[in-house]
Amino acid sequence: MQPDGNAPAHRLARVAAHLNPQMEEGAASALRPAVCRAKGGAPGFKVAILGAAGGIGQPLSLLMKMNPLVSVLHLYDVVNTPGVTADISHMDTSAVVRGFLGPQQLDAALTGMDLVIIPAGLPRKPGMTRDDLFNKNAGIVRTLCEGVARCCPDAIVNLISNPVNSTVPIAAEVFKKAGTYNPKRLLGVTTLDVVRANTFVAEVLGVDPRDVSVPVVGGHAGVTILPLLSQVTPPSSFTHEEVKYLTNRIQNGGTEVVEAKAGSGSATLSMAFAAAKFGDACLRAMRGEAGIVECSYVASEVTELPFFASKVRLGRGGAEEILPLGPLNDFERTGLEAAKKELSESIQKGIAFVNK
């Protein structure tokens, strides 16, 4: 007869068996992973967050721990994961949480993951552009993506670290070098631009933002953020003044937060909300839910550029179909040309970084 794993005599042994086997001696108490009563093999996806102790990472970890599609949640950072992991692991939701600290534990954090969300890296301070983060964040993204290629090459990657216009091409080059590149599985997260656009447009229209959907295409920096106000649903018309105000506010939403935070960072809470929304869309699509369309910065043939943000139909394998831009008005066509010029340079910079 099999021993009853739930019998009192076996309970603590079973709990102990959940302890993270990857932990180094001495780290065990600090990084004590969550244990749970769920039987092994509970349905759901394994999700890793890289940069989990940061301003985005912490609330994003909380939101992903609340997602019923997540069965295992790995929290990786180079600092502070013990505390974040212990804290989040006490939430009575089903995902099992494990913490991983420092480069020696990167591979353990990534092995077996279905979805990897990357908000690791420096945020802006007032006066900086996102491109000013390139020198620090390019190397961080390269190292983390090398880990993905080694340990979970089939995982879908949601890349948040700035400058997204360059970090996505960096990730693609890393995966190409490793022989694991599948463009469908690499998605730059631009959801915050859509979230902001929905909010600001709803304010102007005087409606609930949940009822508004604004496609935002191009990229994720300044003029590369191109809201298509002519394609808002429900169909709405705006005066030229409103178009100029909305476009400017959406393009500079990140700077608005950076300035308001006055040196203590950039958007974290709204970004965690946006990343959780996008991560959930990816997981639902991976589970087989049909008809999920989100804007994302991906390998693309929508323009002559190799990467571009536009509406993407998500499926089991990631970005299954890149949807066309649809009809643009004169204002948007002019914006598209400006966006492409800047994007082209950011993409080349990312590609050159890996191949230099």
Ligand X SMILES: O=C(O)C[C@H](O)C(=O)O
- What residues act catalytically? 220
Six token digits for residue 275: 């990343």
* Cβ within 8 Å of residue 218, ≥6 positions away: 224, 225, 226, 308, 309, 335, 336, 339, 340, 343
Q: How far apart are CA 230 and CA 183, in angstroms?
A: 29
267 touches ligand X by CB under 6 A: yes
Among 46, 124, 142, 311, binds ligand X (CB under 6 A): 124
Residue type, 44: G
47 beta partners: 73, 115
Q: How far apart are CA 115 and CA 93, in angstroms?
A: 19
> Between residues 161 and 346, which has the closer beta carbon with respect to ligand NAD?
161
> Between residues 98 and 220, which has the closer beta carbon with respect to ligand X?
220
CA atoms within 13 A on the CB side of 123: 22
Q: By CB under 6 A, name the binding residues for ligand NAD.
A: 50-51, 53-57, 77-79, 119-124, 133, 137, 140, 143-144, 160-162, 164, 189, 192, 220, 265-268, 271
Minimal CB distance to ligand NAD: which residue? 54
Going by C-alpha positions, the residue among 287, 306, 320 that lies closest to residue 348 is 306
Number of H helices, E strands in the chain: 11, 11
Say whether the peptide bond before residue 163 is cis (omega within 30 degrees of 0). Answer: yes
Shortest separation between residue 190's beta carbon and ligand NAD, angstroms: 6
> Between residues 20 and 61, which has the closer beta carbon with respect to ligand NAD?
61
Going by C-alpha positions, the residue among 286, 291, 288, 308 that lies closest to residue 299 is 308
Shortest separation between residue 228's beta carbon and ligand NAD, angstroms: 18
Going by C-alpha positions, the residue among 46, 43, 112 that lies closest to residue 73 is 46
The verdict on whether residue 56 carries a ligand-binding annotation is yes
Shortest separation between residue 254's beta carbon and ligand X, angstroms: 2
- Residue 268, Cβ density class (10 Å: 0-12 exposed, 13-18 middle, ≥19 buried): buried
Shortest separation between residue 335's beta carbon and ligand X, angstroms: 17
Among 31, 194, 258, 347, binds ligand X (CB under 6 A): 258
H-helix or E-strand containing 217? strand 216-218
The verdict on whether residue 67 carries a ligand-binding annotation is no
130 touches ligand X by CB under 6 A: yes
Shortest separation between residue 167's beta carbon and ligand NAD, angstroms: 8
Going by C-alpha positions, the residue among 69, 119, 77 that lies closest to residue 102 is 77
Question: Residues 180-219 vs ligand X: string with x where CB under 6 A?
Answer: ------------x---------------------------
Say whether the peptide bond before residue 169 is cis (omega within 30 degrees of 0). Answer: no
> Between residues 69 and 194, which has the closer beta carbon with respect to ligand X?
194
| Pairing verdict, β 45-50 and 115-118 | parallel
Shortest separation between residue 97's beta carbon and ligand NAD, angstroms: 16
The verdict on whether residue 130 carries a ligand-binding annotation is yes
162 touches ligand X by CB under 6 A: yes
249 touches ligand X by CB under 6 A: no
> Between residues 94 and 266, which has the closer beta carbon with respect to ligand NAD?
266
Binds 113: which of ligand NAD, ligand X, none (CB < 5-8 Å by kind)? none
| Pairing verdict, β 225-227 and 216-218 | antiparallel
Please state the residue numbers annotated as binding site: 51-57, 77, 124, 130, 137, 160-162, 196, 271
Please state the residue numbers annotated as binding site for NAD(+): 51-57, 77, 137, 160-162, 271
Please state the residue numbers annotated as binding site for substrate: 124, 130, 162, 196
